[in-house]
């Protein structure tokens, strides 16, 4: 079946620029370039964070309580449902198991459509950062029910597949990894003048964190670990790249850090490549796009021993995998790398070599082949 139609339902396509929205936009562009007809349903805002690919049908939504930058789709109204009926997709791809995802699932089941899903956000791991652990059990009950209706589930890593299976999620799961732009992200983007302009000395060891600034990225561990490492070695200097709702709180926790704000494109690549160590203790990633970008720029990576990161970082090879709760071990790993330039160089080479396995065309071709398989 060469020509077919796919409808994509997502909780974020253009209103927040993050790993989910960027991945899905890249997928839509790739699929359309390969002759697949696409229609995207999701929430939006008046001034979205990115210019989206493909055709987006905007779904009514409200701000999430306490996190107004996120949107909650409130259903699939009649007018949008009519548009879906006219499009008549061959495949219904649900990227978020939210209210819109539930409505999409019911619509597709009633019409015997082929349903697939992709797992982008490991919501259960977020709950402890907001004291909502009581929602974990009912959350897994819902996810087991939801994914049981999907012909295929596309998961970023094998370790994430193991986690889902351990919680009783069943179904045919296939790895749909994430890629990286090897031309944009490169050690060649290292710029010592850029470092000096930010106040770093040539022999400083810049320990970088790149992400949206939200508590679920384990900001406190980053702050505490890099501060403790700096007490041991004054050449250790923190660099934070990103923006988010708790940026003022992080600045208070880490007043000695250099904060660049949100960066993208060449500016982001330069920030990675001009660093010396990537420290990312988040345990809420399903893949770890920022870790892969750091590796592609030749950085040794000190990351949480969690489902996203451990598919990218080999302990004692291109970095260190540390249990998320052991802040002292994060400090020790950063301190060891800060003291040993040869070790950083060795790990840098391995990071760069491993990153070459992840090209977007190959990864999205895999997903296209999964679609064709079920058709």
Interatomic CA distance for residues 340 and 106, integer angstroms? 57
Cβ neighbours for 181, distance < 8 A, ≥ 6 positions apart:
360
Residues 77 and 226 in one domain: no
CB-hemisphere CA count at 13 Å for 328? 0
Residues 238 and 341 in one domain: yes
End-to-end CA distance of the chain: 7
pLDDT tens for 305-345 read 988 788 899 999 999 999 999 999 999 999 999 999 999 99
pLDDT tens for 10-64 read 999 999 888 899 999 999 999 999 999 999 999 999 999 899 999 999 999 998 8
Positive or negative: CA dihedral 50, 115, 137, 61: positive
Count how many residues are written for the chain: 375
Residues 143 and 273 in one domain: no
Which comes out higher in pLDDT, residue 145 or 157?
Answer: 145
Mean of pLDDT values over 67-87: 92
Residues 214 and 334 in one domain: yes
Residues 23 and 151 in one domain: yes
CATH of the domain at 261: 3.40.50.2000
The DSSP string of 277-307 is EEEE-----SS-HHHHHHHHTT--EEEESST
Q: Which domain holds residue 85?
A: 5-179+359-374
Residues 160 and 261 in one domain: no
The DSSP string of 214-266 is -GGGTHHHHHHHHHHHHHH-TTEEEEEE---TTHHHHHHH-TTSEEEES--HH
Residues 80 and 220 in one domain: no
| Of residues 129, 319, 125, 52, the one with CA closest to residue 207 | 319
What b/e sequence results for 258-279 when a residue is b if at least 16 CB atoms lie within 10 Å of its CB, and e otherwise? bbbeebeeeebbbbbbbbbbbb
Residues 102 and 203 in one domain: no
Judged by average pLDDT, the poorest of 28-37, 155-164, 210-219, 253-262 is 155-164
What per-residue confidence (pLDDT) applies to 126?
Answer: 67
pLDDT band at residue 372 under the 50/70/90 scheme: very high
Average pLDDT value over all residues in the chain = 94
pLDDT band at residue 144 under the 50/70/90 scheme: very high
Query: How many domains in the chain?
Result: 2
Residues 106 and 200 in one domain: no
């Amino acid at each position: 079946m060469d020509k077919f139609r796919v409808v994509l339902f997502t909780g974020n396509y253009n209103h927040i620029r993050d790993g989910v929205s960027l991945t899905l936009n890249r997928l839509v562009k790739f699929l359309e370039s390969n002759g697949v007809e696409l229609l995207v349903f999701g929430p939006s805002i008046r001034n979205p964070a990115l210019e989206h690919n493909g055709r987006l049908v905007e779904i009514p939504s409200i701000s999430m309580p306490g996190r107004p930058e996120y949107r909650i789709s409130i259903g699939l109204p009649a007018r949008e449902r009519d548009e879906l009926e006219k499009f008549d997709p061959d495949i219904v791809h649900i990227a978020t198991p939210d209210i819109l995802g539930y409505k999409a699932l019911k619509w597709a089941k009633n019409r015997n459509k082929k349903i697939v899903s992709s797992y982008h956000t490991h919501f259960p791991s977020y709950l402890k950062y907001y004291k909502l652990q009581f929602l974990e059990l009912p959350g897994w009950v819902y996810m087991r029910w939801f994914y049981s209706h999907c012909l295929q589930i596309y998961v970023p890593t094998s370790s994430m597949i193991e986690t889902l299976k351990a919680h009783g999620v069943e179904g045919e799961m296939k790895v749909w990894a994430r890629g990286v732009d090897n031309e944009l992200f490169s050690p060649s983007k290292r710029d010592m003048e850029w470092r000096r302009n930010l106040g770093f000395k040539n022999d400083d060891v810049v320990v970088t964190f790149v992400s949206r600034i939200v508590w679920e990225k384990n900001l406190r561990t980053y702050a505490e670990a890099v501060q403790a490492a700096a007490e041991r070695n004054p050449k250790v200097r923190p660099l934070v790249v990103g923006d988010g709702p708790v940026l003022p709180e992080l600045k208070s926790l880490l007043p000695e850090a250099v904060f660049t704000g949100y960066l993208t494109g060449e500016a982001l690549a330069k920030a990675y490549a001009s660093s010396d160590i990537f420290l990312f203790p988040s345990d809420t990633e399903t893949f770890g796009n920022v870790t892969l970008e750091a590796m592609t720029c030749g950085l040794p990576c000190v990351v949480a021993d969690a489902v996203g990161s451990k598919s990218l970082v080999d302990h004692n090879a291109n970095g260190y995998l540390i249990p998320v709760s052991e802040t002292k071990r994060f400090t020790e790993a950063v301190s060891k790398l800060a003291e040993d330039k040869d070790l950083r160089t060795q790990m840098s080479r391995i990071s760069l070599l491993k990153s070459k396995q992840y090209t977007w065309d190959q990864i999205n071709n895999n997903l296209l082949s999964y679609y064709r398989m079920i058709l």
